Amino acid sequence: MTLDFGVVPSYSQLLFTGLLWTIFITVLAGSVSILLGIAIATTTLYGPKFASLPVRGISFLFLGTPLLLQLYLLYYGLSQVGVMLPAFWTGVVGLGLHYAAYNADIFRASLQAVDPGQAEAARSLGFSRGATQRLFIMPQAIVTALPQVGNNSIILLKDTAVLSVLGIAELVLNAQRAISETYRPFEFYFTAALLYYVVNLAMEFLLGIAARKAEEIR
Amino acid sequence: MDIQLIGRLLPHIMEASLLTIGLTACSLAIGLVVATAVAAGRFSRMRPIRWLATAYVSVMRGTPLLVQLFIVFFGGPQFRLDLTPFMAGVLTMGLNIGAYMSEGIKGAIISVDKGQGEASRSIGFGRFDTMRLFILPQAAPLIIRSLGVNTVILSKSTALVSTIGVVELTYSAQRFVTSTYKPFEVFAVAGAAYIAIVAVISLIVRGAEKLFDADRRVAA
């Protein structure tokens, strides 16, 4: 069997739609992972024991098991207890939760890395505890965390491919649809890989700019 | 929560864990060979080889493992490359994790003080001996750590080969879900098995790290 990439262009719209969904899912799940990551880091660092211990335990479970298994557990397990979440939202939430556990570690380290003198100075100027955290500690920690959280977002982009097993029509599933009509797996998976690679490079480029900006602010 | 079901599942899940461990071990073996070759390539004196190694790492890390797996398993037959699901899985994961591991090795080597290499070269050691006798022993603890992190990631990635029909932990859990319709219990047991595997790998890595750090202290 020879290769024939000639069949690919006629499916370009299908692939492009899939790519847009992939980017959309990356943005949604990425936002969930960052916001929740900050929430987990703050809870485990400053929260009361009865809150921080379970949160720490749950994020340990997320770090120690495969994403695919977590998605299945969410998708099938929730329906067992009567919660019917659509596949799309299961995927977004599952992916977001998974990377929130990874981002939380980074945010925690970044929060701890902020010079204690900063908080002391803000408190002595009369800022409340909450305002000190919000206006002085958190912004500095976010700047420190940015490069690594960005890296995680790039890894997250590639893991959106796993959502195809839940039947979410992103890039991989749309490539599979094209394959089922043409029986040309290599051509379509290769094209999909190429598209992921391009988005990946674009994200790396943007994060490089953001990281340089962050370095300037520091 | 069906406790009895969990008791009945355990032996089967443990059996499936063996395949997950086997997948991890075989992929790790391929990955280590690839990582060594690619890391060596990145320090090559020949520019095309350096360029090729860099491109390899960039492409392998820039595309999803799942898509790579599908290209090899479903696209392979178009090149008369008919692999069993197990072989396709091990080959792809080995090639993939090798790229990540080579980055760890490269980072560890770069982190060794430049003066060490210069000193060794200036007293007449060759490039290869300098690497072998002075650079690598000092980079060893960092290399071990990054290999360990990647092995943990690898053991969790093996779940993806369930999508091409290898009956490892995740796929066998799915089968039990269809026969029992107790997804929560089944996936929880499978998750516990993964955590046990990850914990054992982490313990081994920590031991190896200590071993190499102790060597360093003795040498100093």
CATH code of the domain covering residue A46: 1.10.3720.10
The pLDDT, as a whole number, for residue B213 is: 75
CATH fold label, B3-219 = MetI-like fold (1.10.3720)
The pLDDT, as a whole number, for residue A2 is: 77
| Cβ within 8 Å of residue B103, ≥6 positions away | B57, B61, B146
Asked if B157 has any chain A CB less than 8 Å from its own CB, the reply is: yes
Let me know if residue A89 belongs to a domain. Answer: yes
Lowest mean pLDDT among A26-30, B97-101, B117-121, B156-160: B117-121
Let me know if residue A1 belongs to a domain. Answer: no
- The model's confidence at residue B8, banded by pLDDT at 50, 70 and 90, is confident
The pLDDT, as a whole number, for residue B113 is: 87
- The model's confidence at residue B219, banded by pLDDT at 50, 70 and 90, is low
Count of CB pairs separated by less than 8 Å, A with B: 117
Chain B nearest CA to A162, separation (Å): 7
Partner-chain contact B183 A77, CB within 8 Å: yes
Query: What tokens appear for B102 in the block?
Result: 């080579």
Partner-chain contact B159 A189, CB within 8 Å: no
Point out the residue among A69, A179, A200 whose CB comes nearest to the CB of B62.
A200
Partner-chain contact B187 A197, CB within 8 Å: no
Domain ranges of chain B: 3-219
The mean pLDDT of chain B is: 91
The pLDDT, as a whole number, for residue B214 is: 60
Partner-chain contact A158 B64, CB within 8 Å: yes
User: How far apart are alpha carbons B201 and B218 in whole angstroms?
Assistant: 26
Chain B nearest CA to A147, separation (Å): 17
Name the residue range of residue A186's domain. Answer: 7-217
- The model's confidence at residue B215, banded by pLDDT at 50, 70 and 90, is low
Partner-chain contact A179 B74, CB within 8 Å: yes
- The model's confidence at residue B217, banded by pLDDT at 50, 70 and 90, is low
Q: For residue range B29-56, what is the model confidence (pLDDT) as tens digits? A: 999 999 999 999 999 999 999 999 999 9
Partners of A19 on chain B (C-beta within 8 Å) are: none
Partner-chain contact A66 B157, CB within 8 Å: yes
Question: Which chain A residue has its CA at the smallest distance from B70's CA?
Answer: A189
| Residue among B194, B175, B195 at smallest CA distance from B186 | B175
Q: ipTM for the complex?
A: 0.91
Partners of B195 on chain A (C-beta within 8 Å) are: 61, 64-65
Partner-chain contact B59 A197, CB within 8 Å: yes
The pLDDT, as a whole number, for residue A130 is: 86
Partners of A192 on chain B (C-beta within 8 Å) are: 67
Asked if B55 has any chain A CB less than 8 Å from its own CB, the reply is: no
> Which whole number is the average pLDDT over B60-84?
94
Chain B nearest CA to A102, separation (Å): 12
Question: Which chain A residue has its CA at the smallest distance from B76's CA?
Answer: A186
Partners of A77 on chain B (C-beta within 8 Å) are: 183-184, 187
Would the pLDDT of B210 be above 60? yes
User: How far apart are alpha carbons A184 and A182 in whole angstroms?
Assistant: 5
> Which whole number is the average pLDDT over B53-80?
95
Partners of A193 on chain B (C-beta within 8 Å) are: 63-64, 67-68, 71
The pLDDT, as a whole number, for residue A50 is: 87
DSSP, residue by residue, chain B: --HHHHHHHHHHHHHHHHHHHHHHHHHHHHHHHHHHHHHHHHT-SSHHHHHHHHHHHHHHHHS-HHHHHHIIIIIGGGGT----HHHHHHHHHHHHHHHHHHHHHHHHHHHS-HHHHHHHHHTT--HHHHIIIIIHHHHHHHHHHHHHHHHHHHHHHGGGGGGGT--SHHHHHHHHHHHH--HHHHHHHHHHHHHHHHHHHHHHHHHHHHHHHHHHHHH-
Question: Which chain A residue has its CA at the smallest distance from B156's CA?
Answer: A66
| Secondary structure of chain A as H, E, C letters | CCCCHHHCHHHHHHHHHHHHHHHHHHHHHHHHHHHHHHHHHHHHHHCCHHHHHHHHHHHHHHHHCCHHHHHHHHHHHHHHCCCCCCHHHHHHHHHHHHHHHHHHHHHHHHHHHCCHHHHHHHHHCCCCHHHHHHHHHHHHHHHHHHHHHHHHHHHHHHHHHHHHHHCCCCHHHHHHHHHHHHCCHHHHHHHHHHHHHHHHHHHHHHHHHHHHHHHHHC
Let me know if residue A2 belongs to a domain. Answer: no
In chain B, % of residues over pLDDT 90:
66
Partners of A172 on chain B (C-beta within 8 Å) are: 64, 66-67, 70
Partners of B77 on chain A (C-beta within 8 Å) are: 1
The pLDDT, as a whole number, for residue B6 is: 83
Partner-chain contact B64 A69, CB within 8 Å: no
- The model's confidence at residue B3, banded by pLDDT at 50, 70 and 90, is confident
The pLDDT, as a whole number, for residue A6 is: 84
Asked if B153 has any chain A CB less than 8 Å from its own CB, the reply is: no
**Below-70 pLDDT ranges, chain A:** 1
> Which whole number is the average pLDDT over B151-161?
96
Please state the domain count of chain A. Answer: 1
Let me know if residue A22 belongs to a domain. Answer: yes
The pLDDT, as a whole number, for residue A78 is: 85
> Which whole number is the average pLDDT over B176-182?
88
Partner-chain contact A65 B194, CB within 8 Å: yes
The pLDDT, as a whole number, for residue B60 is: 96
Chain B nearest CA to A36, separation (Å): 22
